[in-house]
Each structure stands twice: as structure tokens, then as C-alpha cells.
Amino acid sequence: DGGITQSPKYLFRKEGQNVTLSCEQNLNHDAMYWYRQDPGQGLRLIYYSQIVNDFQKGDIAEGYSVSREKKESFPLTVTSAQKNPTAFYLCASSQTGGRAKNIQYFGAGTRLSVL
């Protein structure tokens, strides 16, 4: 069953703590993305990666970091420098060629809260 798996579904962060959100896909997609969703706002792009070992900052990258060591995996770390991390985090993937290249497939999300 192909798709994107995000874990955990819920995550709590203590003050000064770094936390890592997992995103795994078995769709064989080259491109992967991290978005943040806040109530009443559109999805905002944090980081994206078009290929293994390469990634670019999105509009709100400050306080976040990523890695792309494997095609299937694109973990997001929310660092202590992110002062307002409470949000719903969505991971997505897409092809980089062909007619379906612009369609993004999303995971079920991780809801991060601050203790």
C-alpha cells in the first residue's frame, strides 16, 4: 500500500528541547516537502528537497532543520530556536517529471504542542 507515513501523530515539546518529526514515503518520489499549518492560514513551506542529499529553505525555515540521506526519508527537526512551534506539520512528496509532477501527496500530519 503506497503512501506517506508521518510519525508520531501527536508530539509534545518541552522548553529548550529539539524534537524530530518523521516522514517516510514508498511512492518512489524524488521531491519531498515540509509544511506548517496554523488555524486560518494556508500551508507554509518550511523546507523542500528535490533529490537525495540536497534541500532548500522554504518561506519559514528559521528554527527548523532537515536531512535527506535516503530517497524515502525526510525528517524535520524543530529546534529550540523555533519559539512558536505549536502547529500541524504536514509532509508531502511529488514526482519531478511527467504529467503528475505537480501533484503533491500528503501524510496524515503531526500535531506538535509545547508543554
Partner 1 sequence: SQKIEQNSEALNIQEGKTATLTCNYTNYSPAYLQWYRQDPGRGPVFLLLIRENEKEKRKERLKVTFDTTLKQSLFHITASQPADSATYLCALGVNNNDMRFGAGTRLTVKP
Q: Which three cell numbers stand for residue 83?
A: 519559539
CB atoms within 10 A of CB 64: 21
- Does 42 bind partner 1 (CB under 8 A)? Our answer is yes
What Rg value do the Cα atoms of the chain yield, rounded? 13
> Is residue 94 within the footprint of partner 1 (CB under 8 A)?
yes
Residue whose CB is less far from partner 1, 4 or 87? 4
**Do 45 and 60 contact (CB within 8 A), yes or no?**
yes
Q: Is 85 in the site for partner 1 (CB under 8 A)?
A: no
Binding site for partner 1 (CB under 8 A): 4, 6, 31, 35, 40-45, 48, 50, 90, 92, 94, 96, 101-109, 111
